[in-house]
Structure 1
Amino acid sequence: MSASAPPESVSPPRRGVRPRRILGGLVAAWVLYVAGFEVAVRSGVAERILNRRPHKLAVAFDSAHSWFPFWATASGIEARGQAPRLRWRAHVDQASGWLVPWRLASRRLRLAGVKAAGVEFSLLREPLQAPFPEANAPESQPEASPSLPAPAPAESSQPPSAVPGERALSALAPAPAAPLARAAFDLDLALPVIAPLAPPPPGPAVAPRWTVEIAGYDATGVREIWMDRFRITTTAKATGALTLHLPTREIELLGTALEFRDSTLHAGDLILGEALAGKGDLAVARYPYQEDRGLATLAHVTAAVQVSGRVSGGRFWFASLPPQAWLQLDDDTAEISGEIRLVEGALQPGTKVEFRQDDYAARAFEFHVTGDVLGSFEVSSDEHGSKAEGRVNLRQFGIRRSAAEQPDIVGDGLVVVATTRDLQLSELASLEASAKLDLGQARVPDLATLSGLMPPSAGVALVGGSGRAEGAFDLELPALAGRGAIQIALDDVQVRYGELDLHGRMQIDLALATASLPEGRFDLAGTSIALTEFQSPQLAGDEPPVAAPKAPGGSTGWWARIELPEGEIDLPPGSAASGHLRVRLRDSVPFIGLFETRRNLPRWVERLLTVRDLQAESGFAYAGETFTLDEFSMPFKKATIRARVRFGAEHKTGILLVGWRKLGLGVRFDDERRRMKLLGARNWYAAQGLDLSTSESEVDPAGSFSEEALASVSFSGLAAEPLSLADSELAELDADDGIEAAPAPFEIVPGSIARGDLDGDGREEAAVLLARSGVGEGPTLFLAALEDRNGRPENVATLPLGARPAVGRLRIEGGRIVFDPPATSAAESATVPEPREPLEGEEPPPVAPPEAVSPPVPAPELWRLSGKELLAVPTPASPQTEPTATP
């Protein structure tokens, strides 16, 4: 029997072969994936994939790796994109993250676990027009943008790139900076440098847009964020999430935590804030980023941020808003600290920011304000909702005009308070708020600082004075309409007026109203100025003789009250004021003094100055250094004072008319030249203008020495005091006119005015006969000599001639005054011989006719003018009569 064969041995199955194969396959796949990724990056395939829409996006990087599928890391990343109305640029030193692949099918690029370091971001918006037409506009051509940089030069001439991503990086070459136009901000503010991409291809867009979603990011080392002209350089970190909805062109920023320090806020190259530090939470609700721009984006922001540092309110104002020529804020920085709470753009209760700045300086129109600022901004709540209040307290302040070296007003506690309800930051441009300015404890240190407001030619100087000032001004936004009042009470006011030193009290009640503060036009209706207790040592004892009603307030001395029923003022650059004023005066002495000193006025005008408690009206205009009173009118009883005056920087002109019944006096001054008009003064006044006259005064002798002109001359030698015919007019005043009666009148002998040269100076003088009523033999005659002084006759000598039964003729010959007495009639002077008595029985002899005998011819009387005297000149004896002695 054969032996059976041994059974075949069966080896047991080996464990781990399949896992190793799987692992080997995975490793091989991983190697292939990594190698393929590296090849794609180095060969430029990845670049072409990322930049397949070069008119929308350009991406470049220094290096990129992917050690796991759907995960990548890159360094030196540069990205640039553009939309029809904006461009953006981003730089990241190092970034990594995961790609969620199953969202790609729905055209949704979702990144998760993104970590980034060394981040810079810039955004530039086109404010006027799109740099390129919309993508769906057929056959469109790119158009030049007025504010964005021009497209970069073509790259066709560049050598081939050997470094991954270099061609894309070359497209990001910087373009020249694009400054804002000076017409917009009066200062060049640099914008981010973002070169434009290629123009979009013609024809409508066919591929639907993607949605980019960053489910979570952690950014550290954020160095710069540049949004249009605002740029932040910082050391910051942020964590959060971001979604960019390209189909609807919307963006959404989910809960983000921020921390920042050593931050500087710029507007171009202008530093708005520095040493900024803080932390907070930020979220931006989904909104259309192409429609909502600027402040409108704040309506979607919710935040709670704590911040501290230094901020310049003046620079921020300047960079954020269009230029305001009337307002300039201090550009130095203030210390700030506080917390801001925001819900969808609305500031919430709990918001509070405090700030402080010493040596603050600002300008409103031509007024410079300095002081130490302590301010706050706070949001609180009450039964009506949230209330935002901003408060600025200016301590140890001074207010000075641009033309003044010293402050016009100083004080402590000037406060500006602004309040509004439900403050929405996105609506700041149309903010409805109310503001109130209170001067606090203010005073005028020296009134002399305002002397520069007086026209130099007026002869009025404010020498000194001080007092209190108080007032408030209310303002409504956004119209910036306002209304307020300022009261200034000044003691010991010192004024130099011509040759007079005056001192007294002044009260100024200034009413202000404006429909738009930036326009600089204010309504002055309701303004008043009261002058009381003014006295002058030069006028001591020169009080008018008639008692006057008590001044307003019972003050003594000279007083006046000026009211403006209408008026307005325009502040710089074209400072001007105009309106209508009403004046109440104790008397008209100071006003008449503008035209002549009192001692040179006709006596009847001088007497009218004693009338008290006058009222006047006038138009006025002030521009630059020129002040004009237009048709100043001061009527009282049967008299009127009218005037037009202009005071300028170098010259002054004025026309005055004083009328009393039929009497009239006109006075004109051109600088220091004075001219008077007595004949036809009213018509002359109506024809005068205020343009400076430098021509020689044309004197009409017939007018200067007319009877009308002589009516205003005061003649000496008629009585104890000089008399004029105007005294006769004033003697007829009613009892309630308040002027005592004048001495007895006299007459100018009709036709007795003679003209000629009496002193050999080549100019005409005059002589006239005056008659005062007498008794017995007839009126008493007086001979008066006159000279012309700038069109005004003045009596230089008067000689009594005694009582005369009849008046002769007056003439001037050879420099002598010749008086021809009247000849005696022949009937009165003829002699008839007495007839002889006939004897008894004798017939009377015939009577012979009487012989005519010629009457004697009276010798003329002669006088010559010697200085201020009339001296008799001997005359030769007449052949027909004995010489007559000179009285």
Structure 2
Amino acid sequence: MKTLLARHGRILRLAGLLALAGYALYLLAGNVFLNSHFGHELLNRRPEAFTMEWNGGRTFWPGRVTLREVRMRGHARRVQWSAQADAVRGRIALWPLLHKELRVPWVEADGVTGSLTRAARERPAPPPRPGGWMLDFRRIATGSLRRATLGDWQVTGNGRAEVGFGKQLRGGPMELRPSTLQFDAARVSRGDIQWLRDVRLSSTFALPRHVSAEHPGFAKLDLLAATLDLHGTTIGLQSTLDGEGRYDFAVLPGDGELQAKLSLDRGTLAPGSQLQLRLPLSNVDAQGTRVANRFDLRATVDDALHLRATLPDLDGRHPSLDATLDVPGIALPLKDWHERLMAASGEVRAHGHLPSIGGVVALFTQADWMGLEGSGTVDADLKLADGRLLDGSRLQVSDVEARADVLGNRFRGKARAQANIANDAAGNPQSRLDVVMEAFSAAPSDAPGKPYFTGERLRLETLADARLDRMKESMQARVRFERARIPELVVFNPHLPNDTLRFAGGSGMLSGDLRLDGDGDVGRGTLRVEGRQVRLAVAGMDLRGDVVLDARLRRGNLHKGEFELGDSSASVRNVAFTEPGGTTHSGWWATLDIDSGRAEWKTPSSASGNLRVRMRDVGFLLAMFADRTDLPAWVGKVVDAGEARLSGKWLWQGKRLVLDQARAQNERFTVDARLALEGPRRHGDLHLKWGILGVGVELQDGNRKYHLRGARQWYDSRPPLLP
């Protein structure tokens, strides 16, 4: 019996010695691992994805570890994160390691700070592969969370947090178990500015098991369940309006208030969620007058999102706002915020200077070719139902920059505008906008910095269905201006066909009245150019006189610059010119009517059609072909034979100007002509008949050939220049 007991005693002593030796070996190996470079190198084999550093540690029991001064960071796709702690204690389950599972039942940390920021570059996720390790952190807790950073925002104070998560490596699923975050007496700052103080924050959050690649970025919000309960004291703001219509904002000490009680379930705000902001606001206008005010914003959720914003009107000169909006839907307004706001119902009354005014004006008119831009003073009273402005809505804008792209030109100027909604006879709401540019300039659309005429009181009026989805297609517009000044008519030379027809000097006036639709198509319109003592160079001759052009435009396309020109006319008066041979003319006049025609306004310009002309005599037409002294003597009597009427066809395309099938006549003579001017080249044919006399002139690049016999037959044998 004693022998058996002695044997058992030796076995127990041996087992104890082995256990003690194993424990001693664990103490040695574990603490050496924690306090040597080997442990650091083993955990930091992929520093581009994850690194962990610590400054000493200890372990006294298998699976239980304590580390000091822990620093971790990681990079996943476009997210970078980091965490630091003065001390970390935790337990690692050892047996699951045999099954490629890192199970950590609990971790406790002291003196914790953490950050989550957007990376400058994306680190692509590796393709999913089987056999990845399973990470299972059941509970990570700290009672001394000092600072949390999200992007540029930082929360500092006395915090507590408890987080649990699971993740399978190599692209496997992950989950965020129900977790909590709390702060007391915290501060919220961004850069050097402290936006909130005395913050009390309590939050819960969880994500169900999912594959991250299937829910990238904000798509994870569709899975998130979270609550936020926040209360804090805000700073104040000061807005200062400068002389150019821009606001400069500065932070002031303040005692505003922010309260939020929000609940989110799979991307949807829960009924009962609410947010309220009371912000002290000091406004300084462009004259330096300061007014203290308070901006209030309240948002509540039931089956929709309800917004209420107020900024009291204290003196009628500084900004004010009274808005009540019901926005459909209770999903987080991230991707579709603009669309949902455009479907809102409610009332908005506002007054003040807006740094960007285009979005407000877009409620009343939508057209790519015109707009109100930049800053301006707004006085608005809007009534909305399902995104539609209702009868009685109005908008007044002043000191705004307006533009209109018309006829290949960009009109710009400081403007005032008035818009309103009124029902038509059928009860349908119609949107009217009336814009007046008190002073404007116009420049080619492709060179908007080089204006070539200026004027006053350009008026732009639009009328459209007030329903936003039909506004553009139903819009009708009218642009009017009178007697805009053209200091130098030579600016139009790039639009003329070639150097054989160009302005040599003189100024003029331009008036316009155009009607367009939402796509910029011209239904009809008029343009009138008036010039006195205009100098023209035509086919080597210099002309001086008064010019009036009345263009009737219809059925055109603004963007293509195409117009019908029927019923357009032009006239020249008091014209003096000298033929190449020295013969002078004065007091010449002509009026031109276009029966049918079409023009393309954009460079290179082109036009064509049929014309009728009344002229004092045919002297100018003959001078285009030859000097009077080179023709038979009887031709002079034809020139002096009185008023003539001409009809024909014409084409102006690129650098080519053509007159064809032209016939000028009266009771005493007939002149037939065809002429083409192309760059420096001139060629054409002329036949003049006076009684039984006739002569033909063949013009080829300045060389002339005269036909005295069979002139009519020769002319008829020549090919036409136009079909």
Q: TM-score, normalised by structure 2?
A: 0.55
How far apart are residue 362 of structure 1 and its match?
5.4
Alpha-carbon spacing, 1:441–1:635, altered in 2? closer, same or farther (3 Å): closer
Contact residue 577 and residue 584 of structure 2 kept, 8 A: no
> What is residue 658 of structure 2 aligned with on the other side?
628
Q: Distance in 1 between matches of 2:684 and 2:416?
A: 52
For residues 84-127 of structure 1, give each alpha carbon's deviation from its aligned partner in whole angstroms, at most 9, with x where no partner exists.
99965769xx9845xxxxxxxxxxxxxxxx65899xxxxxxxxx
> What is residue 842 of structure 1 aligned with on the other side?
none
State the AA in 1 paired with 2:661: E
Matches within 5 A, 1:329-478: 332-349=374-391, 351-357=393-399, 363-379=405-421, 386-401=429-444, 409-420=453-464, 423-430=466-473, 432-440=474-482, 442-458=484-500, 461-467=503-509, 469-477=510-518
> What is residue 586 of structure 1 aligned with on the other side?
616
Q: Distance in 2 between matches of 1:398 and 1:337?
A: 26
Q: Distance in 2 between matches of 1:36 and 1:217?
A: 35
How far apart are residue 661 of structure 1 and its match?
6.3
Alpha-carbon spacing, 1:58–1:537, altered in 2? closer, same or farther (3 Å): farther
Alpha-carbon spacing, 1:237–1:381, altered in 2? closer, same or farther (3 Å): same
**Number of aligned residue pairs:** 494
Secondary structure class of the residue paired with 2:642: coil
> What is residue 645 of structure 1 aligned with on the other side?
675
For residues 373-423 of structure 1, give each alpha carbon's deviation from its aligned partner in whole angstroms, at most 9, with x where no partner exists.
2223333568775553212111222334468997554321111122345x1
Pairwise CA RMSD: 5.6
Give the alignment partner of residue 547 of structure 2, picking from 503, 506, 513.
Answer: 506
Structure 1 unpaired stretches of 5+? 1-34, 98-113, 119-208, 223-234, 244-251, 262-274, 545-555, 692-887
> What is residue 64 of structure 1 aligned with on the other side?
181
Give the alignment partner of residue 274 of structure 2, picking from 213, 217, 229.
Answer: 217
Alpha-carbon spacing, 1:323–1:483, altered in 2? closer, same or farther (3 Å): closer
> Are 1:239 and 2:327 matched, yes or no?
no
Give the alignment partner of residue 73 of structure 1, picking from 202, 225, 229.
Answer: 202
Alpha-carbon spacing, 1:644–1:76, altered in 2? closer, same or farther (3 Å): farther
How far apart are residue 625 of structure 1 and its match?
2.9
Give the alignment partner of residue 282 of structure 1, picking from 307, 321, 325.
Answer: 325
Alpha-carbon spacing, 1:440–1:582, altered in 2? closer, same or farther (3 Å): closer
For residues 230-270 of structure 1, give each alpha carbon's deviation from its aligned partner in whole angstroms, at most 9, with x where no partner exists.
xxxxx998533346xxxxxxxx5242224699xxxxxxxxx
Contact residue 665 and residue 678 of structure 1 kept, 8 A: yes
For residues 668-719 of structure 1, give each alpha carbon's deviation from its aligned partner in whole angstroms, at most 9, with x where no partner exists.
333332233345444544554699xxxxxxxxxxxxxxxxxxxxxxxxxxxx
Contact residue 522 and residue 553 of structure 2 kept, 8 A: no
State the AA in 2 paired with 1:417: E
How far apart are residue 634 of structure 1 and its match?
2.2
Contact residue 276 and residue 310 of structure 1 kept, 8 A: no
How far apart are residue 517 of structure 1 and its match?
3.3
State the AA in 2 paired with 1:240: A
Contact residue 304 and residue 330 of structure 2 kept, 8 A: no
Q: Distance in 1 between matches of 2:221 and 2:330?
A: 21
Contact residue 597 and residue 610 of structure 2 kept, 8 A: yes
> What is residue 618 of structure 1 aligned with on the other side?
648
> What is residue 253 of structure 1 aligned with on the other side?
304
How far apart are residue 449 of structure 1 and its match?
4.0
Q: Distance in 1 between matches of 2:516 and 2:548?
A: 25
Q: Distance in 2 between matches of 1:313 and 1:321?
A: 13
Q: Distance in 2 between matches of 1:489 and 1:454?
A: 17
Which range moved further: 279-288 or 643-652? 279-288
State the AA in 2 paired with 1:530: S
How far apart are residue 643 of structure 1 and its match?
1.9
Alpha-carbon spacing, 1:88–1:457, altered in 2? closer, same or farther (3 Å): same
Q: Distance in 1 between matches of 2:267 and 2:400?
A: 54
**Seq. identity, %:** 19
Which range moved further: 440-449 or 343-352? 440-449
Alpha-carbon spacing, 1:391–1:295, altered in 2? closer, same or farther (3 Å): farther
Give the alignment partner of residue 572 of structure 2, picking from 517, 531, 541.
Answer: 531
Secondary structure class of the residue paired with 1:611: coil
For residues 173-229 of structure 1, give each alpha carbon's deviation from its aligned partner in whole angstroms, at most 9, with x where no partner exists.
xxxxxxxxxxxxxxxxxxxxxxxxxxxxxxxxxxxx99863322216599xxxxxxx
Secondary structure class of the residue paired with 1:413: strand
Contact residue 115 and residue 219 of structure 1 kept, 8 A: no
Contact residue 567 and residue 580 of structure 1 kept, 8 A: yes
Q: Distance in 2 between matches of 1:533 and 1:591?
A: 17
Structure 2 unpaired stretches of 5+? 1-104, 109-136, 142-160, 185-200, 234-265, 280-293, 313-317
Q: Distance in 1 between matches of 2:306 and 2:639?
A: 86
> What is residue 637 of structure 2 aligned with on the other side?
607
Contact residue 365 and residue 472 of structure 2 kept, 8 A: no
Secondary structure class of the residue paired with 1:428: helix
Alpha-carbon spacing, 1:401–1:663, altered in 2? closer, same or farther (3 Å): farther
> What is residue 558 of structure 1 aligned with on the other side?
588
Alpha-carbon spacing, 1:66–1:452, altered in 2? closer, same or farther (3 Å): closer
Contact residue 236 and residue 258 of structure 1 kept, 8 A: yes
For residues 443-473 of structure 1, give each alpha carbon's deviation from its aligned partner in whole angstroms, at most 9, with x where no partner exists.
4444444455444442664432545x44422
By percentage of residues, which structure has more strand? Answer: 2
State the AA in 1 paired with 2:455: G
How far apart are residue 49 of structure 1 and its match?
10
State the AA in 2 paired with 1:64: L
Matches within 5 A, 1:28-427: 42=140, 63-64=180-181, 73-74=202-203, 88=219, 96=227, 115=230, 213-218=270-275, 238-242=297-301, 252-258=303-309, 280-285=323-328, 298-304=342-348, 306=350, 308-312=352-356, 327=369, 332-349=374-391, 351-357=393-399, 363-379=405-421, 386-401=429-444, 409-420=453-464, 423-427=466-470
Q: Distance in 2 between matches of 1:486 and 1:212?
A: 58
Alpha-carbon spacing, 1:675–1:280, altered in 2? closer, same or farther (3 Å): same
Contact residue 500 and residue 680 of structure 2 kept, 8 A: no
> What is residue 667 of structure 1 aligned with on the other side?
697
Alpha-carbon spacing, 1:84–1:626, altered in 2? closer, same or farther (3 Å): farther
Q: Distance in 1 between matches of 2:343 and 2:172?
A: 31
Q: Distance in 2 between matches of 1:648 and 1:448?
A: 19
How far apart are residue 657 of structure 1 and its match?
2.5
Q: Distance in 2 between matches of 1:630 and 1:313?
A: 53
> What is residue 9 of structure 1 aligned with on the other side?
none
State the AA in 2 paired with 1:241: T
Alpha-carbon spacing, 1:606–1:425, altered in 2? closer, same or farther (3 Å): same
Alpha-carbon spacing, 1:507–1:237, altered in 2? closer, same or farther (3 Å): same
Matches within 5 A, 1:538-557: 557=587
Secondary structure class of the residue paired with 2:271: strand
Q: TM-score, normalised by structure 1?
A: 0.46
How far apart are residue 649 of structure 1 and its match?
3.1
Alpha-carbon spacing, 1:76–1:631, altered in 2? closer, same or farther (3 Å): farther
State the AA in 2 paired with 1:588: V
Q: Distance in 2 between matches of 1:238 and 1:370?
A: 37
